[in-house]
Structures are given as structure tokens and as C-alpha cells.
């Protein structure tokens, strides 16, 4: 649930892929139209394709903010296309389908442990290069890292921040492809579209900083969620992915924290340190608690294991490990 860091090599590989695999299709279509100057009704189509060609780098690797601006600029031209929208959609959606296809060469590269930056470029390679992102950035409940063999393959979904149904020309924009789990993408978000003018993208902001999990005020209540700034857009995200409802299935983590805290409080660690000495184990008290309760000590590690945000937040709220707040 932290901000997704985009490696520079991903940008370079995707730019090269877009230039070699998408631009020729756009140029070929424009060449056909140039040979049909006498036909009426193609001006809007030509203008739109020309705009895509002239701004191809923004389409390929533009940031979320740049994609918002680009999409605003395209609105009128897109509406003017009328019956030609399907033709434009076909160019970009076919390109996206090629991107999610697994080349045979990639399987061999994968099995031979070729450096990911030198592998055939596709969705699997992209996810593999996001090595720090092992868990869905929307929910932090499911692993999304890719596995590829001759016998089978599995990877996280790619959610389109700008839906490919309404914005097909952004279907292959790298900052429009958000790695996530199938629950969040297909089962919950589906074809719903974020309010892309204001809603937060995991490429822009860390969800970890926007809300907190809390223990219940009474035994009859479940895990609570606090929207730190009472932001309606955070509420929209929490509702879309049913974060509070889904985390009620993880009350066992809360109960284990509470039980361990009763049995092994601060007095336990003081006695342990007196008898054995943490120095002999070459770990600090904070490292000891992190291992004991199985939560990541550093927030940068939240997206490496499932339920990490829940555990860190409960460590603050239930256990009183206030030092974690300074690492938010």
C-alpha cells in the first residue's frame, strides 16, 4: 500500500516496445488514409491518429498527471470520431493484447534466470522488474508476483486506472497499468472508473499514509479504519475495494496481537533482556518486537508481504509501538 516505484529500466523498455510495436500500426493506418484523400469523413480520424503519433512518448511513458492532461486534450477529438472510435480502439487494444501475451522465448529466459531487464518485454517482465512490489497495492492481502514455467503461468492483473473501455488510446500507457490482485481488479473494481481527476493512483501517492487500521473499542466490534484527513476520495477507494469488510476476516491477527501483548508485555522483554541479553543476539528491541509480532520494521517493506499494513498499524494502536509512526 505504499507508492509504487517505477524503475528507470522499465521506462526505457516500455518506450522501446511502444516505438517498435505500436507506432508502426498507427503510421500504417495514417498511410492508408493519406492514400484516400478523396473520401469524406476521415479528417477527424486522421487528426486523432496524428495527435497520437506526435505525442507517442506521453502515451507510452507519461506520468499519471501527464495522462490526465493528455486525456483532457483528447476529449473533443475523441467525441468527433463517432463511428471511427472502433478503429482507433482496435489499434491500441490489439497492442495491449500483444503486451499481455507470453512470448515462447521468454519462458526459456525465465528458466535460465536471465536478468529481467534483458528479457522479452511483456506484462510478465514488467511485473518481475517491480521486484519490491510483491503484494497488491490496493488491498495488501494477495500476492501478485509472477511465476512462469513450461507447465503453467500466473501473475497479478493489470488494472487500467483510466479504463480501456472509455480510454482505449491509453490502454498501453505504462503509468495506466497498475499491478494488482484479481479480487481488486475483476471482482471489485471491474469496469468501474475512478474519478481520475482527483483520485489517488498508487504511482502518485502512498495509500499507507492516508488511513489507519485500529483495534475495536469494544469486543463486539471488528477491525476499524480511520480516514486520517476525512478525505472523500479515500473513502471512495476504501469502498471500491471493500477494505474494511475484507479485513474483518483477519481478526485472528488482532486477537493474536492482543493475546501476545497480555502474555508477553514490556515486563517480559525486560526480563528476557536481563536474563539473556538482546545484545548477544545482535538485535535491537525494535527488531525483536518486529520479529516477534511478524510485522515489517520499515514501511518500505509493506508491499513485500501480505497484511503488513494491518500488522504495523495494530502494532501502534494495540501494542503501543509508537516508534513506527515516525516511519509512516
The per-residue pLDDT for range 82-140, each reduced to its tens digit, is 888 999 999 999 999 999 999 989 999 999 999 998 999 999 999 999 988 999 999 99
Q: What is the mean pLDDT of the chain?
A: 87
Average of pLDDT values for 229-250? 87
- Which residue from 240, 227, 235, 228 is spatially nearest to 178, judged by alpha carbons? 240
Say which residue, 220 or 283, is predicted with more confidence. Answer: 220
Cell output for 27: 503510421
Q: Output the DSSP codes for 232-244.
A: HHHHHHHHHTTHH
| Torsion-angle region of 294 (φ positive above 0: left; ψ -120 to 50: alpha; else: beta) | left
Mean pLDDT within 232-241: 86
Alpha carbon 226 to its chain centroid, in Å, reads 22
Asked if 138 and 92 touch (Cβ cutoff 8 Å), the reply is no
Interior CA angle at 77 toward 72 and 83, to 5°? 130
Using a CB cutoff of 8 Å and minimum separation of 24, what contacts does 41-45 make? 42/84, 44/77, 44/80, 44/81, 44/82, 44/84, 45/81, 45/84, 45/87, 45/88
Phi/psi of residue 193, nearest 5 degrees: -120, 135
Inter-residue contact 181 to 188 (CB < 8 Å): no
The listed range with the strongest mean pLDDT (93-97, 204-208, 276-280) is 93-97
How many residues does this entry show for the chain? 328
State yes or no: pLDDT of 292 exceeds 60: yes
Q: How far is CA 102 from CA 108, 130, 163, 287, in A?
A: 11, 18, 23, 41
Contact by Cβ (8 Å): 134, 147: no
Interhelix angle 85-100/43-54, nearest 10 degrees = 30
With a cut of 90, say whether residue 235 has pLDDT above it: no
Helix (H, G, I), strand (E, B) or coil at 210: coil
146, 126 in Cβ contact below 8 A?
no
| pLDDT tens figures, 3-42 | 899 999 999 999 999 999 999 999 999 988 877 655 556 8
Task: State the pTM of this model.
Answer: 0.88
Q: What are phi and psi of 190, to 5 degrees?
A: 55, -130
Q: How confident is the model at residue 273, as a pLDDT?
A: 65
Tell the residue number behind the cell numbers 469524406, with chain if given.
40
∠109-115-121 over CA atoms, to 5°? 65
Are the C-beta atoms of residues 78 and 85 closer than 8 Å to each other? yes
Distance from C-alpha of 1 to C-alpha of 57, rounded to nearest angstrom: 28
pLDDT at 192: 63
Contacts of 101 by beta carbon, 8 Å cutoff, 6+ apart: 122
Per the CB < 8 A criterion, the answer to whether 245 and 139 are in contact is no
Give CA separation, 222 vs 166, 207, 213, 247, 253, in Å: 38, 21, 11, 9, 12
**In which band, very low, low, confident or very high, does the pLDDT at 276 lie, cut at 50, 70 and 90?**
low
> What pLDDT sits at residue 275?
62
Residue bearing cell 500500426: 25
- Tell me whether residue 192 is exposed, middle or buried, using C-beta atoms within 10 angstroms of its C-beta: 0 to 12, 13 to 18, 19 or more: exposed
Residue 295 has pLDDT above 60, yes or no: yes
> Which of 176-185, 204-213, 270-279 is the most confident on average?
176-185
Cell of 37: 484523400
Amino acid at each position: 500500500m505504499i507508492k509504487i516505484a517505477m524503475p528507470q529500466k522499465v521506462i526505457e523498455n516500455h518506450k522501446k516496445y511502444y516505438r517498435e510495436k505500436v507506432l508502426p500500426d498507427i503510421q500504417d493506418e495514417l498511410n492508408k488514409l493519406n492514400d484516400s484523400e478523396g473520401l469524406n469523413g476521415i479528417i477527424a480520424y486522421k487528426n486523432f491518429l496524428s495527435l497520437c503519433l506526435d505525442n507517442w512518448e506521453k502515451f507510452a511513458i507519461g506520468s499519471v498527471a501527464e495522462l490526465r492532461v493528455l486525456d483532457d486534450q483528447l476529449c473533443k477529438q475523441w467525441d468527433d470520431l463517432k463511428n471511427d472510435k472502433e478503429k482507433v480502439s482496435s489499434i491500441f487494444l490489439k497492442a495491449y493484447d500483444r503486451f499481455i501475451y507470453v512470448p515462447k522465448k521468454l519462458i526459456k529466459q525465465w528458466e535460465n534466470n536471465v536478468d529481467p531487464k534483458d528479457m522479452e518485454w511483456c506484462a510478465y517482465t514488467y511485473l518481475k522488474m517491480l521486484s519490491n512490489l510483491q503484494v497488491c497495492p490496493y488491498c495488501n492481502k494477495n500476492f501478485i508476483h509472477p511465476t512462469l514455467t513450461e507447465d503453467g503461468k500466473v501473475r497479478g492483473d493489470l488494472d487500467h486506472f483510466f479504463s480501456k473501455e472509455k480510454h482505449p488510446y491509453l490502454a498501453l500507457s505504462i503509468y495506466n497499468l497498475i499491478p494488482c490482485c484479481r479480487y481488486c481488479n475483476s471482482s471489485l473494481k471491474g469496469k468501474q472508473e475512478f474519478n481520475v481527476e482527483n483520485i489517488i493512483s498508487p504511482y502518485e501517492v502512498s495509500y499507507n499514509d492516508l488511513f489507519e487500521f485500529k483495534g475495536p473499542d469494544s469486543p463486539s466490534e471488528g477491525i476499524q479504519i480511520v480516514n486520517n484527513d476525512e478525505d472523500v476520495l479515500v473513502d471512495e477507494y476504501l469502498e471500491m475495494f471493500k477494505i474494511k469488510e475484507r479485513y474483518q476476516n483477519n481478526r485472528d491477527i488482532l486477537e493474536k496481537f492482543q493475546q501476545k501483548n497480555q502474555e508477553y508485555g514490556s515486563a517480559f522483554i525486560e526480563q528476557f533482556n536481563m536474563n539473556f541479553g538482546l545484545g548477544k543476539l545482535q538485535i535491537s528491541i525494535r527488531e525483536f518486537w518486529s520479529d516477534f509480532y511478524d510485522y515489517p520494521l520499515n514501511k518500505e517493506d509493506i508491499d513485500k508481504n501480505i497484511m503488513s499494513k494491518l500488522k504495523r498499524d495494530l502494532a501502534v494502536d494495540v501494542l503501543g509501538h509508537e516508534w513506527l509512526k515516525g516511519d509512516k
